[in-house]
Amino acid sequence: MILHGYWRSGTSYRTRIALNLKGLTYDQVGVDLRKGAQKSEAFLPINPQGLVPALEVDGAVLTQSPAILEWLEEAHPEPPLLPGDAIARAHVRAMAAMIACDIHPLNNLRVLKALRETFSADQAATDAWAARWITAGFEALEALIARHGDGWCYGAEPTLADCCLVPQIYSARRFNTPLDAFPHILAIEQKAADHPAFMAAHPDRQPDANLS
């Protein structure tokens, strides 16, 4: 498998976590979003949408991280990232969707670039924009984790929801979003910091990481 992604992309990050949790081996190809490589002649044939991640597997290219995570669960069911019960699976998928559909799209690079270029937003304004949507989403997630979690978002083992949450926490810290009101979320962040699959997926540890 070949994962085309960007070290600091939340969607690439969540995909790396899931691949690592499944114990799968994959190569990485960096796509530098800051330089517009996602729109290059080299990358658009891989993903015509010009977004990361894209996962090459068995002669196919999979795009959109929620679809990739669901494929991983179907093609490599052990260890499971969804509970066995149908209602529980729906809860996990809902928690993941709150991040992947309602939080992350509003603070990704495309949106922040539009805020800067179209509305002349400075760093403080873009941070405030991101924090507005992160905070609203985390308020709901905190309540759901308190209801369903037992160390992780749902139960005592990491699920697809945790694959999405941990990168969103990383983004929240980049945007200087206060997190003190979310003790359950912070506990998951700490737990992930000691988990090999999450540690290996961290942006700072990726081959294309540019920390400058």
Question: Do 90 and 74 fall within a single domain?
Answer: no
Q: Are residues 65 and 91 in the same domain?
A: no
11-34 pLDDT, tens digit per residue, is 999 999 999 999 999 999 999 999
Q: Indicate whether 66 and 149 sit together in one domain.
A: no
Task: Looking at the structure, tell me whether residues 107 and 75 fall in a common domain.
Answer: no
- Predicted local confidence at residue 211, as pLDDT: 64
Return the number of other C-beta atoms located less than 10 Å from residue 48's C-beta: 10
Q: pLDDT, tens digit, for every residue of 172-200?
A: 999 999 999 999 999 999 999 999 999 99
* Residue ranges making up the domain that contains 61: 2-79
- Average pLDDT estimate for 78-102: 98
Residue identified by tokens 């969540």 is 14
Q: What angle do CA 55, 61, 64 make, to 5 degrees?
A: 65
Same domain, 112 and 176: yes
Strand partners, 61: 56
d(CA 18, CA 161): 10
Predicted structure pTM score: 0.96
